[in-house]
Amino acid sequence: MKTDTTTGAAISFDNVGKAFPKKGGGSVMALDDISLSVEPGTITGIIGRSGAGKSTLLRMVNGLEKPTSGKVTVAGRDVGAATGAGLREIRREVGMIFQHFNLLASRTVYENVALPLEISGTPSREIRKRVDDLVARVGLEDFRNRYPAELSGGQKQRVGVARALATQPKVLLSDEATSALDPETTQTVLELLADINRDLGLTILLITHEMAVVRDIASHVAVIEDGKIVEDGSTYDIFTDPRHPTTKSFLSGVTGVTLPQFIARDLTETRPKGPSREVMRITFVGDNATDPLLAKMSTELGLQVNILAGAVEEIGPRPFGNLLISVEADRAEEARNFLEHNQQRTEVLGYVG
């Protein structure tokens, strides 16, 4: 794949801004000084709340939106500056999967997948071969002559994936592709995207508001808030050591990091007078992520540890866990020193009486 000669990125956003005009004059900034590189062959997730600017960012990759400032490049070519045949060529290299499928009701599965090839003037014999291959890849051979109304949501999205691959793109964009699906179907679509990424070496850029989707499929993640990238990096690093409050908020719904309500109600930032317990989060990472460190700490230090919440899971091939615990406040520093000596991260959340 031809990549950007300065960054080596399949997709790059260089100081990108986007302003939309407001009724009555003036403008509103949808994106503000965005800089981000998406490396070839990776799956990168853009996560943000509704209105954060993630859809606008995605639409710049295929030229549906043009930046007000800065530059967006795909395979080394400036998308915002491209017009006519140049823009059409870029769009052939960028496939798109939509949240609500966008299938034509009057066309069969086969005909929906074939549509981009018909538009681009591909010969009929080549269309047949490519569509047959794609329908088989997404597991819909038995449904090739069915219409969208006869398909489940997951099957419709598989048609959408096949159609997005029809022009043999270098980049695949996913616009909330699983948000209209149930959890089980979501997992099968994510597995399909992971297979495509692995088998075809396709670069995938997906936007979502679900951190679990990022956890399950993305190697890299960027968090967008109010039109700005507030945090980005490898998925493992972001999950195990989030820095920005928005990232921490997204993570609170996964990986067992939410405090039980009866603890959160009584939590104080400062240590109260009298007997109290310190509440801390432990992030278990690295080679010791699955070791029984709490049991070892209790035995060696004689500490009573109260486990409040937690989970151990995997990000890619690497295990990590989050535990919320409380220990006697008088000995909390001793506990933290023990854990950090064993390469685990700790964070003081507050105190309870």
Rounded Cα distance between 287 and 266, Å, is 35
Q: How far is CA 121 from CA 63, 108, 148, 254, in A?
A: 21, 19, 24, 46
Residue that the structure tokens 């060696």 belong to = 300
Rounded Cα distance between 353 and 325, Å, is 14
| β-pair partners for 321 | 284, 312
Indicate the fold that domain 261-352 takes in CATH.
Alpha-Beta Plaits (3.30.70)
- What's residue 22's pLDDT? 87
Has domain 11-245 been given CATH number 3.40.50.150? no
The pLDDT tens digits along the chain (353 residues) read 333 334 467 999 999 999 999 888 888 999 999 999 999 999 999 999 988 999 999 999 999 999 999 999 998 899 999 999 899 889 889 999 988 889 999 999 999 999 999 998 999 999 999 999 999 999 999 999 999 999 999 999 999 999 999 999 999 999 988 888 888 899 999 999 999 999 999 999 999 988 889 988 999 999 999 999 999 999 988 988 888 999 988 887 665 567 778 888 889 999 988 899 999 988 877 666 667 888 889 999 999 999 888 877 778 777 777 888 999 999 999 999 999 888 888 889 999 98
- What's residue 130's pLDDT? 95
Rounded Cα distance between 286 and 283, Å, is 10
Q: Which two tokens stand for residue 82?
A: 């491209």
Domains of the chain, residue spans: 11-245, 261-352
- What's residue 8's pLDDT? 61
- What's residue 128's pLDDT? 95
**What stretch of H or E contains 151?**
none
- What's residue 148's pLDDT? 96
Longest alpha-carbon distance in the chain: 82
| β-pair partners for 348 | 280
- What's residue 25's pLDDT? 82
Q: Are 162 and 113 in contact (CB under 8 A)?
A: yes
Number of H helices, E strands in the chain: 12, 14
Rounded Cα distance between 107 and 148, Å, is 8
39 in helix, strand or coil? coil
Identify residue 300 by its one-letter amino acid code.
E
DSSP for 314-332, written as a single string: EETTEEEEEEEEEEEGGGH
Residue 40 CA, chain-centre distance (Å), reads: 16
Q: Which two tokens stand for residue 315?
A: 């990000």
Q: CB within 8 A of 98, min separation 6: which ones?
A: 160, 175, 177
Q: Are 295 and 325 in contact (CB under 8 A)?
A: no
- From start to end of the chain, where are the E strands? 11-21, 27-38, 43-47, 69-74, 77-78, 94-97, 171-175, 203-208, 220-225, 228-234, 277-284, 306-315, 318-328, 345-352
Angle between helices 153-165 and 124-137 (to 10 degrees): 140
- What's residue 250's pLDDT? 85
